[in-house]
Chains A and B, each alone.
Chain A
Amino acid sequence: MRAAIVGIGIHKFGRTPELSGLQQGAYAARRALEDAGLTWRDMQFGYGGSYSAGNADALGNELGLTGMPFTNVLNGCATGGSALLAACRDIQSGAADLGIVVGFDKHDRGAFNASPAEYGLGEWYGEVGMMVTTQFFAMKLQRYMHEYNISVDTLARVAEKAYRNGALNPEAWRRTPLSLEEIKSSQVVNDPLTKYMFCSPAEGGVALVLCREDRARRYTNKPVFVSAAAMRTRLAGAFEVYGPTVALQKVANATELAARAAYEMAGLGPGDIQVAALQDTESGAEIMHMAENGFCAHGEQEILLREGETNITGRLPINTDGGCLANGEPIGASGLRQIHESVLQLRGAAGQRQVPRHPKTAYTHVYGAPGVSAVTILQK
C-alpha cells in the first residue's frame, strides 16, 4: 500500500513581509485542503516543520485546534522529506487513512549562521570562519571541477536555466531571466561561484494532503503515488557540510545513500525518471547531484548542459520550477516545493513550464547540513 498525494498547496516563495512563516504555512495548508476537497478537521494526523519560523503544530492556532496528533519535524534541509516519510509510514502501516504534511520558513537575509554546538562541533570552528555553508559547496565544486573537467560556463548554464524556468513560474521569487554573461560576471562570493550562481535564504510554505492509495480517487482524479521516500545521514569520512575532515579514500555521501535506497524501494532506476528536482543551493550542486543521483556519469554534465538536455524540453528536465536558485531557500519548505512541482508536472498542470512529454515518473532530492539527504520517487 503506497501513500497518495491528493492535495497540494503553496505560498509564493521569496519575501512576504506582511505574513509570518507560520501564516505562509497555513495559507499553503488551506490551498492543499481545498485542492483535495477536504477540511483541516478531516486530517487524522499532521507532520511539519520549519528551521527558523517556529513549531509547525502552532498551525492549529490558524486552522483550528482539533486534537489531532501533530508532530514537529526539525531535520535541516530534509525537514520536508522527513515529514513526508513519516506521513507515508502512518498510511502504509494502516495507522491512519488521511493526513497533512506542511513545511514553511522565514529566514533573515544573508548566509545562514549556524551554531557549532548544535552540530556537535567546537566553538572554534565558527569563530575562525569555517561554519559557512557556501564555503562547503564552493570547495566541493572546486574539487569536482578539477576531477571531472567541468567549466565555469556549465555552472552559469545551470543558473541561466533556473532563472528562465523561474520566469515561467508565478510562485517563484526570481522571475527575471539572466544571460550567461551577467551570471558569470556578477560578484564572486566563494570562488568559483558568483552571486547569481547561489540561492538566497527566503520565505515560503508548502503543504500536501496524503491518503491511502486505494482511496485516492475519492479526492482527486489525478492522484500521484509516493513510490519511494528515503532519508539518509552521513557516513564517517564522507565529504559533507560542516565536516572538519574528509577521508583519503572516497566514501559515499548522504545523497548517494538516499538515492540508492529510493531506487531500491521503488524498483526503478535513473533511466525511468522523466522529470527531476535536485537540490541546487548553488549551480554546482545541481551538477554534482545529477551524477550522485545516478542521472549521468561524472563529467558528462558538461555535454548535457551544453545541449540543453536538462531544459524543460530536454531529455531529463531538471528543476522545472526554477529550483532553489529562482525560488530561494526557506529550509522547511524547500523539499516540499520540489514535490509540489513534481505533482503539477505529473498532473499535466504545470502551465507554461509543463514538460511536454506527459511525464509519468518524477524524482525529488534535497541535501543539506550536516550531511543529510532525502529523496522521493513519485508516479501517476
Chain B
Amino acid sequence: MSEKPSRAVDALLFDWPAREPALKAARCLECGALAFPVATSCRYCGAGKVTQEPLPRRGRLWAWTIQRFMPKPPYRTTETAATFTPYGLGYIELPGALCIESRLTENDPRKLHIGLEMELVIYPQWQEEDGTAVMNFAFGPIARLSESHP
C-alpha cells in the first residue's frame, strides 16, 4: 500500500484505507431490500431504517462496454481528448446481492465477455493538488490479478 495520503472518492462507497476493502450496501430493516450506494432510506419501500453490510468482493461480468471518448466534466482527469485512454466499465453480478455498475481494470474488448469472473480492486482515479490520491473501486478479471500478484 502506498505511503502517500489517500482517500476514498466517496466515504459511502467503501472504507479506506482497509486491508480487505469491500463495497458497502444498505439493507432495509422493513422489506429486506439491498441497495448500493448506502442511502438513509430504502428505494424499494421508502422506509427510513437501514443497516449497512459489505457486498461480496467477487462476482461475474453481467454487461460491459468500453468508454472510447473522454467524458465531459464532472469526469475528473488530467488527460486531454488526445491523450485519453479508453476505459472499460460494466455491471458485475454479485451472488446473492445485486448487479453493480463499476469501472473495469480491463479496456481490451477481446479480454472481456459476459460471465467472466471478476474481483474488486481499489485504484487511484486522480490525484488532488496536495498529492492526495483519490481512490475509486473497479472490478478486474480474477486470473489477471493472480498473475500480477503471485
Contact = CB atoms under 8 A, between A and B. Distances in A.
Contacts of B67: 129, 132, 135, 190
Interface residues of A, number: 36
B103 A128 contact: yes
Contact of B10 (A110, A122, A245): A122
B98 A142 contact: no
B51 to A, nearest CB: 17
A115 B72 CA distance: 11
A130 interface: yes
Interface stretch (A61-69, A73-81, A236-244, A346-354): A236-244
B142 interface: no
B72 A128 contact: no
Interface in A163-181: none
Interface in A124-158: 124, 126-132, 135, 138-140, 142-143, 146
A126 B126 CA distance: 13
Contacts of A110: 69, 72
Interface string B112-150: 001000000000011000000000100000000000000
A246 interface: yes
A236 B69 contact: no
Contacts of B97: 248
A12 B77 CA distance: 37
A138 B65 contact: yes
Nearest to B77: A129
B101 A111 contact: no
B: interface residue count bin: 35 or more
Given A110-B72, A115-B74, A142-B114, A124 B136 contact: yes
Contact of A113 (B36, B43, B62, B74): B74
A127 B125 contact: yes
Contacts of B35: 245
A190 B71 contact: no
B114 A245 contact: no
A232 to B, nearest CB: 16
Contacts of B12: 122
Contact of B72 (A111, A123, A190, A247): A111
A246 B98 contact: yes
B90 A146 contact: no
B73 A113 contact: yes
Given A116-B74, A138-B65, A244-B37, A124 B101 contact: no
30 contacts: A113-B72, A115-B74, A122-B10, A122-B37, A124-B10, A126-B74, A128-B9, A129-B67, A129-B71, A131-B71, A131-B75, A139-B64, A139-B89, A140-B63, A143-B63, A189-B69, A190-B66, A191-B64, A191-B65, A191-B66, A192-B65, A236-B43, A236-B44, A237-B44, A237-B98, A245-B35, A246-B62, A246-B91, A246-B99, A248-B97
B68 A190 contact: yes
Contacts of A140: 63
A135 B98 contact: no
B33 A236 contact: yes
Interface string B3-36: 0000001101100000000000000000001011
Nearest to A193: B65
A146 B114 contact: yes
Contact of B68 (A126, A189, A243, A244): A189
A188 interface: yes
A353 B41 CA distance: 51
B86 to A, nearest CB: 9
Nearest to B45: A236
Contact of A127 (B66, B72, B76): B76
Contacts of B100: 244-245
- The 8 residue pairs across chains A and B that have the minimum distance between CB atoms: A126-B74, A113-B72, A138-B65, A143-B63, A124-B10, A246-B99, A139-B63, A124-B9
Nearest to B72: A113
Interface in A334-359: none
B32 to A, nearest CB: 13
Contact of B89 (A113, A130, A187, A245): A130
A289 B12 CA distance: 35
B31 to A, nearest CB: 10
Contacts of A135: 65, 67, 89
A138 B68 CA distance: 12
Nearest to B109: A191
Nearest to A128: B136
A244 B62 contact: no
A80 B94 CA distance: 38
Contacts of B71: 111, 113, 129, 131-132
Interface string A94-129: 000000000000000011010110000011101111
